[in-house]
Amino acid sequence: MAGIIESSPAHQNEQKESRVNFSRNFLRRFQTEQNDFLGRIITGDETWVYSWDPETERQSAEWRDFDEPRPEKVRRKQGALKVMHMIFFDMNGVILRWPVPIGTTINAQYYKKVLQDKLRPAIRKKRPGLLESGILFHHDNAPVHTARAVRDVLAGYKWELLEHPRYSPDLAPCDFHLFPKMKEHLRGQRFETEEDIIQATKVAIKNLDKCSYVTAFTDWLQRIEKCAKNGGCYVE
């Protein structure tokens, strides 16, 4: 999960260059492989789901240029009870929704175990063809994701990693599409227990239109095209 960018202009130029490079490499692969490329991608991330969340704005992080003022936003207090969800999906839908037990330390070792014990079996069950055609794996560059232990697991499975540029929630399908859509279904509801949150999240995902996942990837492609053309600036 990325945060707000606040850095020197020189640092921002480096970040924008990284975003452009990611976008150009992505587009180059797409131009060569077309929908076969998109169809092999599995993307995922983590997000908190609260017992009460009145916020109507997108919960993901925002990008702000060095000289831009902080946008004013009124936030109402969220519920104290919350459950972290790890969600992985492709163009055909969610492959794994994993609610992390409350109190669990989410570190590289835990994330690695989820990939090994939860995600890979889910892929084998729901998308067996992907294991044969070759998985392109995408997640952001949070420290938990970029740890050596995690990279070793991905390499061992021969899953090709699509490197994500830093501070770029606008180029992460979970952040700009899936999580906002999911939380729209949950907004305004109150949940009393951990299990209530888990079940409501399950229903929210189930209620998403199947076309929504294809839309996530086509929107992703359009955002990447814009990023490549605008010099790496934030894409709305």
This model's pTM is above 0.85: yes
111 or 71: which carries more pLDDT confidence?
Answer: 111
Domains of the chain: 9-229 (3.30.420.10)
For residues 84 and 94, what is the distance between their CA atoms, to the nearest angstrom? 16
What's the pLDDT score for residue 52? 87
C-alpha dist (Å) from residue 59 to 48, 108, 126, 155, 178: 9, 24, 29, 32, 11
The predicted-structure confidence for 71-110, as pLDDT tens digits, reads as follows: 444 445 666 899 999 999 999 999 999 999 999 999 999 9
Nearest to 21, CA basis, from 161, 165, 147, 146:
165
Q: What pLDDT, on the 0 to 100 scale, is given for residue 152?
A: 98
Q: Is 188 a residue whose pLDDT tops 80?
A: yes
For position 43, what pLDDT does the model report?
Answer: 99
* Each residue's pLDDT tens digit, 15-60: 999 999 999 999 999 999 999 999 999 999 999 999 988 764 444 4
Separation in Å, CA 26 to CA 2, 20, 101, 215: 20, 10, 35, 17
Question: How far, in Å, CA of 181 to CA of 172, rounded?
Answer: 14
Residue 164 identity (one-letter amino acid): H
